[in-house]
């Protein structure tokens, strides 16, 4: 009887893990999920290839109002810290590339922009809203997650970036 209970528990646990378990959230302290996505020129951009650099991974969409506010700030960050090892990779999640292109014509990005119309990368990161920003250290570990874009948290994130860059 005891063996039957153990077997039932193992089977239920296996089914739950295979089909019903929630995805592991990309939270502070966790390894950033790997991805390789194409930029505007069709060149693949891989998070793994950026090891050793501090990376801001920002998820955005053309319909996102706060994303319009975040882009100029990220442009300034990229300009200020690129020479010190910061890379910003903005992951667009629009289904239609033309929507993303229209946004970028109005709000240009001076940092790497990649496209994921299938939504696999935001699913791997457990993104729940736009924009969501992940600060990833040189070892590939997430050190900060920021949901939304708020003026009052910009300075704290920039201080975190400077600390990771050693500046």
Phi (first) and psi of residue 107, to 5 degrees = -130, 85
Distance CA 7, CA 145 (A): 39
Ordered per-residue pLDDT tens for the chain, 167 residues: 444 443 333 333 333 333 333 344 577 778 999 999 999 999 999 999 999 999 999 999 999 999 999 999 999 999 999 999 999 999 999 999 999 999 999 999 999 999 999 999 999 999 999 999 999 999 999 999 999 998 888 999 999 999 999 98
Terminal C-alpha separation, the chain: 63
pLDDT for the residue 25: 58
54's CB contacts (< 8 A; 6+ apart) are: 81, 85, 86, 87, 135, 136, 137, 138, 161, 164, 165
- Residue 117, classed as helix, strand or coil, is coil
pLDDT for the residue 152: 87
Domains of the chain: 25-165 (3.40.30.10)
Q: Report pTM.
A: 0.84
Core vs surface per residue 103-135: b (16+ CB within 10 A) or e:
bbeebebebbbbbbeeeebbebbbbeebbbbbb
pLDDT for the residue 77: 97
DSSP string, 31-61: BPPP-EEEBTTS-EEESGGGTTSEEEEEEE-
Residue 10, Cβ neighbours under 10 Å: how many?
Answer: 10
């Amino acid at each position: 009887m005891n063996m039957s209970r153990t077997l039932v528990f193992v089977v239920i646990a296996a089914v739950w893990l295979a089909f019903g378990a929630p995805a592991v959230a990309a939270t502070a302290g966790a390894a950033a999920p790997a991805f390789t996505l194409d930029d505007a020129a069709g060149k693949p951009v891989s998070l793994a290839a950026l090891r050793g650099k501090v990376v801001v991974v920002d998820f955005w969409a053309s319909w996102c109002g706060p994303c319009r506010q975040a882009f100029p700030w990220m442009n300034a960050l990229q300009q200020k810290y690129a020479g010190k090892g910061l890379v910003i990779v903005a992951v667009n999640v629009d289904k239609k590339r033309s929507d993303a292109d229209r946004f970028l014509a109005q709000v240009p990005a001076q940092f790497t922009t990649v496209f994921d119309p299938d939504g696999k990368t935001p699913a791997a990161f457990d993104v729940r809203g736009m924009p969501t920003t992940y600060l990833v250290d040189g070892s590939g570990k997430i050190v900060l997650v920021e949901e939304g874009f708020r003026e009052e948290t910009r300075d704290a994130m920039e201080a975190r970036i400077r600390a990771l860059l050693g500046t």
